[in-house]
Chain A
Amino acid sequence: MMKRGWKETPIRGIILEAGSSHDYATGGWRKIKPVLDSAKCIDCMLCWVFCPDSAVIVENGKMLGFDLEHCKGCGICAEECPDKVKAITMLAEEEEEEIA
């Protein structure tokens, strides 16, 4: 991203374009990461509904995984995944993804 000097920065601290928060990667804050077991997933979309960071990637009604550039590792997806399914596991950042 271009770094503007103070004379070129828009005053008021305003952001002149819409949707720019997508450009701001917050995934670096994460200590634990969600890992999806696609075999168990029933595409119920509960994780997508509950994710506060819109970090669940969905295409054509299928749950594909996580946008780790924006996922902060809160674990809400794993918590909300139905008890009979439990397709999401929270792993420490440095752990290998055995399931996936």
Chain B
Amino acid sequence: MTAEKKAKCSTGLTGNIAVAYAMKQINPDVVAAYPITPSTTVVEEFSSYVADGAVTTELITVESEHSAMSACIGAAAAGARVMTATSSQGLALMWEMLYIASGMRLPIVMTCVNRALSAPLNIHCDHSDSMGARDSGWIQLYSETVQEAYDNVVQAVRIAEHGNLLLPVMVCLDGFITSHSIENLCVFDDDTVKGFIGEYKLNQPSLLDVEHPTSYGAVALPDSYIESRRQLAEAMINAKDVITDVAKEYEKVSGRHYGLMERYMMDDADAAIVIMSSAAGTTKVAVDEMRKRGLKVGLLKPRVFRPFPYIEIADALKNIKSVAVLDRADSYSSFGGPLFTEIRSSLYELDKRPKIISRIFGLGGREYGVQDAVKIFEELLKIKETGKVDKLYNYITVRE
């Protein structure tokens, strides 16, 4: 590694500034956005790049997130490479348009800085916003660190624009915890990013192609709607391999490994916590502490939630005796969190299934500490001994 490249590996940036920096290097044709905490500084920083002429992007400042996503959709249908960022209520206000972006197969890349939904009003982290959008046909990648947020944004462009997919991608990072904390990370030089993402070309006549007039967003009644949605499902089925391939290519240029999930001390583990994003880092510390005590515990951190890699997840958990799935969102089903229900379902095909529990944690930015993870591990080891689950679904990090 050259000295210059080494220097770039000690860049200290917050999650949001790292995302904005990745966007600068990507230099999208259009960014349409509306500010909302905690994603605001992504676009704030990016607008400085626009003002300074560091990018050639058309920045569209709109009057709401519904309009932001609408403008992104129009621009993407016209053949532009398009990005945006939002959080929480902003994502909620985009709801109608999210389905249109995926249904029209527009490869928009959006950073979702995860934040709780009202009520009560709260600006801090949980995953209620993006988890609610899980059925909207968007690919979802979750980032543990600032480095992962940066890396996911760069990879997201390639994933979204892949000819077999043409799907919008949501890159999630934890509000304030990751978005506003400075971490050391490696950033590429601009040419490396440019080379990695390549040129984007719409593979069909665009809205602006007057030689080949086409209708976008037409009505599709019972005689054709389901064919369109079946295509969307097929693209999502294809997405797993594309995400894996892009990650392999990314590893070649970055030296950093990505996959559908990260397995931490899982090979001989009896008990495991499944958890996403920044809380995985906290849990790794707890795993290390438990391991020092001679206890065989591990961590599974899904990176890709949509598509849901159910085969790989079942494979990663098949030899575990007891599993806790920690969701930073509830689906208010009285059964378990959104990650829990899908993981439990993934295990159904196994001949010998682990015991599994759902624990909701950290809503609205409530602190999740090493001791919280240690307590879960202790509960899991007890479940392993007794074979009994007292409570399938419960909250932790809550005052009783």
Tell me the A residues contacting B by CB distance below 8 Å: 3-6, 9-16, 18, 20
Which one of B152-160, B219-227, B349-357 contacts A?
B219-227
What B residues does A18 contact at CB under 8 A? 213-215
| B230 touches A (CB below 8 Å) | yes
- Is the pair B215, A11 in contact by a Cβ cutoff of 8 Å? no
Top 6 nearest A-B pairs (CB, nearest first) are A6-B227, A15-B215, A6-B230, A18-B213, A9-B227, A12-B105
Q: How long is the Cα–Cα vector from A18 to B204 in the complex, in angstroms?
A: 15
Instruction: Count chain B residues whose beta carbon lies closer than 8 angstroms to a beta carbon of A.
Output: 24
What B residues does A9 contact at CB under 8 A? 224, 227-228, 231
- Is the pair B217, A11 in contact by a Cβ cutoff of 8 Å? no
Q: How long is the Cα–Cα vector from A4 to B225 in the complex, in angstroms?
A: 12
Interface SS of chain B? loop
- Is the pair B105, A11 in contact by a Cβ cutoff of 8 Å? yes
How many A-B contacts if CB must be within 8 Å?
A: 50
- Is the pair B223, A16 in contact by a Cβ cutoff of 8 Å? no
What B residues does A15 contact at CB under 8 A? 214-215, 218
Q: How long is the Cα–Cα vector from A3 to B216 in the complex, in angstroms?
A: 19
- Given A13-B104, A14-B204, does the pair A5, B227 have CB atoms closer than 8 Å? yes
- Is the pair A12, B227 in contact by a Cβ cutoff of 8 Å? no
| B12 touches A (CB below 8 Å) | no
Q: How long is the Cα–Cα vector from A5 to B205 in the complex, in angstroms?
A: 21
Q: How long is the Cα–Cα vector from A20 to B226 in the complex, in angstroms?
A: 20
What B residues does A20 contact at CB under 8 A? 215
- Other than the known A6-B228, A13-B220, what 19 A-B pairs have Cβ atoms closer than 8 Å? A3-B223, A5-B227, A6-B226, A6-B230, A6-B234, A9-B227, A9-B228, A11-B204, A11-B228, A12-B77, A12-B105, A12-B106, A12-B166, A13-B218, A14-B215, A14-B216, A14-B218, A15-B218, A16-B205
Partner of A13, one of B213, B217, B234: B217
Q: How long is the Cα–Cα vector from A18 to B227 in the complex, in angstroms?
A: 21
| B90 touches A (CB below 8 Å) | no
Q: How long is the Cα–Cα vector from A5 to B104 in the complex, in angstroms?
A: 18
Q: How long is the Cα–Cα vector from A20 to B204 in the complex, in angstroms?
A: 18
A sample of 6 inter-chain contacts (CB < 8 A) reads: A6-B228, A12-B77, A12-B105, A12-B106, A12-B216, A16-B214
- Is the pair A12, B204 in contact by a Cβ cutoff of 8 Å? yes
Q: How long is the Cα–Cα vector from A20 to B219 in the complex, in angstroms?
A: 12
Per-residue 0/1 for B94-113: is the Cβ within 8 Å of any A Cβ (1 yes, 0 no)? 00000000011110000000
- Most central of A6, A10, A12, A16 by chain B CB within 10 Å: A12
What A residues does B216 contact at CB under 8 A? 12-14
A21 to chain B minimum Cβ distance, whole angstroms, is 8
What B residues does A11 contact at CB under 8 A? 105, 166, 204, 228, 231
